[in-house]
Structure 1
Amino acid sequence: MTAFWLIVATMLLGALACVVPPLLRVPAHERGHAVSSRHAALAGLLIALVPASALTLYMRIGDPAALAIQTAPMPSTGEHADAPASMEAAVSRLAARLRADPNDAQGWAMLARSYMVLDRPGDATQAYQRAVALNPRDAELLADYADAMASANGGDLNDATLKVIDAALALDADQPKALALAASAAFDRRDYASAIQFWERLSKVPDLAPQIAQQAQRNIDETRALAAKVSVPSVEVRVRLSPELEKRVRPTDTVFVYALADDGSRMPLAVQRLSANQLPASVRLDDSMSMTPSRRLSNFARISIEARVSAAGNARPATGDLTGSSGPVSSKEAGVIDVTIADVVR
């Protein structure tokens, strides 16, 4: 039974590993702000509550299947059961069992969470990949997978990770971790409008823990204050999909929203990337998103805003993509620029 409770402890730590890291992952430009301490406070609260809640639930309903993890008795070495070597041994036994039974999606997910506890995000990512391949329509599993991918990349929420986050939200628009990760990614790229939208959605998730809802609201307030201090030329764009084309779009399709100069060049002055399930959406384009210092929004008086849906996620337009344009507008124009995606690239 010692080994069993070791596994229980590992699973509890795994659950915490799935919840706490997004709260503690603070962007470099945010460090030192009050939000960092609040993230840490909420993480501490979860560390206290999750094990107690999980233990209470287990004592009420039990989970005999967890004993299947233990395929051999723990060696009597005289060491404490919670020693790192013992944890590694328990996880190794689980990995060995999965090699013999590779179609156990729940087992792969358990192994992935155990690897996260052991600070092995690379191994966790591979285990989550196996679990997702067996159970691709589990939004929570996809969100955990995205978190492991980010951890394996030093906290970088890259395009591959964003695709997994988008897939999770396409399955469950209220998946809390996926919303938190999407907000963090938007904040990191200084797309404060999108970050606020994701945090607003997170704060409204049904049955969300009050502490998390309060933290989301604090993030919203502080991001709005930060955005107000950032004085860079920008345009606000409202993008929607024509009703006639809605059936041609999958929730995970990529949407590019970008500004073009009126000089005939197709090099974007600023670009944002969304997923189709976010439409309709409000997007902010500004000078911080320019590809070259010599071509910024502020350098051109007349621009056009275009939006394109790409099923393949390619930056270059392709036949079958869906597109829309604002036509020429003033870059200094007040108000919101509307773009409707209503045409098909031939």
Structure 2
Amino acid sequence: MIAFWLIIAAMLLGALACVVTPLLLTFAHERGQAHAALAGLMIALIPASALTLYMRIGDPAALAIQTAPPAVSGEHADAPASMEAAVSRLAARLRDSPDDAPGWAMLARSYVVLDRPGDAAEAYRRAVALNPRDAELLADYADALASANGGGLNDAALKVIGAALALDAQEPKALALAASAAFDRRDYASAIQFWERLSKVPDLAPQIAEQAQKNIDETRALAAKGSAASIVASNVAPKAASIEVRVHLSAALEKRVRPTDTLFVYALADDGSRMPLAVQRLSASQLPATVRLDDSMAMTPNRRLSDFSHISIDARVSASGQARPAAGDFTGSSGLVSSKDAGVIDVTISDVVR
């Protein structure tokens, strides 16, 4: 049994090193210097949390629409298949030993690496039920709930974060998630407080403390800018952008899409960046689908729908549900449209990724 866990752990670390790190470095490059600190913070936390902040920095769709890195060759070429097999064996073992809390936690982190957020959340739920007083485990569970919710920290995730901090007020992942949630709702004062607490956690890696301080400085600047803008605008708030999108499948592809496939719908700016301004993740069974993209879904506060006069709306169906586009995926795009008075935008998925 011990040898089995060692094999699973080794495969997880190998998969993270070969697959996740290049993606995160690409992600940091795409978002620029202003948010490289966030990506760096995420990378620094990976060994302990197995991507615990993944969805709070970028929804899988945010990575899905970037250029895929070169295929890994040589000894790691069959790592995904090996990983899938190992995880399947672990899941089978847990069916016979359902009271194994560390096993459920390992399975959950494995599902995170395989980009299976719903399965990860369920595995974490089982682990937490068996070990409800583990603050780090609760923080991981909260992040998995957010991942399964398309990247949003919903009420269920926020309750779990609160439970983690009630057990350990210095739990770093829970503090980072709480700061992110506050930042998302534009509660900059609370976000700063959580990041300050994170930066003061004992024995915190210096680079994480430094990056947390950069987040604090940026948030203070945004708060000050917002206050000044409010005064200049004389209490006239700018209208937040919100776009309704109707997504259809072409008749030629209708019979080729399975209900279990994943649908990504996202907005891109006209500046050439592949980082989405807003993202929704759905099931292909919901097609034809009507979704709404708005400023609340922004990956970063200085890149919102309302910051760009022209955008494009893209949609992609993935049979594998993986973050990165793959040959055989189905895609469609609206082309450039106005973000100010676009009305309802129709996107027809009719192309195949080669």
2:200 maps to a residue whose letter is K
Instruction: Provide the residue aligned with 1:206 in structure 2.
Output: 202
- 1:126 and 1:152 map into 2 onto residues whose CA distance is 10
Instruction: Provide the residue aligned with 1:147 in structure 2.
Output: 143
Q: How far off its partner does 1:178 sit? A: 0.1
Pairing of 1:89-168 with structure 2 (within 5 A): 89-168=85-164
- 1:15 and 1:167 map into 2 onto residues whose CA distance is 28
Q: How far off its partner does 1:89 sit? A: 1.1
Q: How far off its partner does 1:153 sit? A: 1.4
Pairing of 1:169-180 with structure 2 (within 5 A): 169-180=165-176
1:35 maps to a residue whose letter is A
**Against the structure 1 CA distance between its residues 45 and 99, is the aligned structure 2 distance closer, same or farther, given a 3 Å change threshold?**
closer
- 1:130 and 1:44 map into 2 onto residues whose CA distance is 26
8 Å CA contact retained: 1:13, 1:117: no
Q: How far off its partner does 1:44 sit? A: 5.0
8 Å CA contact retained: 2:138, 2:160: yes
**Against the structure 1 CA distance between its residues 85 and 165, is the aligned structure 2 distance closer, same or farther, given a 3 Å change threshold?**
same
8 Å CA contact retained: 1:14, 1:116: no
Gaps of 5+ in 2: 49-74, 232-294, 297-354
- 1:15 and 1:141 map into 2 onto residues whose CA distance is 19
Instruction: Provide the residue aligned with 2:254 in structure 1.
Output: none
1:180-203 CA distance string (max 9 Å, x none): 000000000000000000000000
**Against the structure 1 CA distance between its residues 136 and 44, is the aligned structure 2 distance closer, same or farther, given a 3 Å change threshold?**
closer
2:34 maps to a residue whose letter is V
1:289-335 CA distance string (max 9 Å, x none): 9xxxxxxxxxxxxxxxxxxxxxxxxxxxxxxxxxxxxxxxxxxxxxx
- 2:16 and 2:169 map into 1 onto residues whose CA distance is 21
Pairing of 1:244-323 with structure 2 (within 5 A): none
8 Å CA contact retained: 1:112, 1:124: yes
Q: How far off its partner does 1:15 sit? A: 8.0
Q: How far off its partner does 1:4 sit? A: 6.8
SS of structure 2 residue aligned to 1:174: coil
- TM-score normalized by structure 1? 0.51
Q: How far off its partner does 1:46 sit? A: 6.1
8 Å CA contact retained: 2:120, 2:144: yes
- 2:120 and 2:10 map into 1 onto residues whose CA distance is 17
Q: How far off its partner does 1:33 sit? A: 6.1
**RCO comparison, higher one (Cα < 8 Å, 6+):** 2
Instruction: Provide the residue aligned with 2:292 in structure 1.
Output: none
Q: How far off its partner does 1:118 sit? A: 0.7
2:38 maps to a residue whose letter is H
Instruction: Provide the residue aligned with 2:33 in structure 1.
Output: 34
Percent identity between matched residues is: 74
2:211 maps to a residue whose letter is Q
- 2:98 and 2:4 map into 1 onto residues whose CA distance is 22
Pairing of 1:66-81 with structure 2 (within 5 A): none
Q: How far off its partner does 1:232 sit? A: 3.5
The reply on whether 1:10 has 2:11 as its aligned counterpart is yes
8 Å CA contact retained: 2:37, 2:215: no
SS of structure 2 residue aligned to 1:136: coil
- 1:15 and 1:134 map into 2 onto residues whose CA distance is 26
Structural RMSD (CA) = 3.5
**Against the structure 1 CA distance between its residues 132 and 184, is the aligned structure 2 distance closer, same or farther, given a 3 Å change threshold?**
same
How many residues get paired?
A: 199
8 Å CA contact retained: 2:15, 2:79: no
Instruction: Provide the residue aligned with 1:86 in structure 2.
Output: 82
**Against the structure 1 CA distance between its residues 86 and 166, is the aligned structure 2 distance closer, same or farther, given a 3 Å change threshold?**
same
- 1:169 and 1:15 map into 2 onto residues whose CA distance is 27
1:159-192 CA distance string (max 9 Å, x none): 1110000000000000000000000000000000
1:9-37 CA distance string (max 9 Å, x none): 33436888xx99xx99x9xxxx9563322
Gaps of 5+ in 1: 52-78, 234-287, 290-346
Instruction: Provide the residue aligned with 1:188 in structure 2.
Output: 184
**Against the structure 1 CA distance between its residues 13 and 83, is the aligned structure 2 distance closer, same or farther, given a 3 Å change threshold?**
closer
Instruction: Provide the residue aligned with 1:318 in structure 2.
Output: none
Between structure 1 and structure 2, the one with the greater Rg is 1
**Against the structure 1 CA distance between its residues 13 and 205, is the aligned structure 2 distance closer, same or farther, given a 3 Å change threshold?**
farther
SS of structure 2 residue aligned to 1:206: coil
Q: How far off its partner does 1:5 sit? A: 6.3
Instruction: Provide the residue aligned with 1:298 in structure 2.
Output: none
Instruction: Provide the residue aligned with 1:75 in structure 2.
Output: none
- 1:121 and 1:198 map into 2 onto residues whose CA distance is 25
- TM-score normalized by structure 2? 0.50
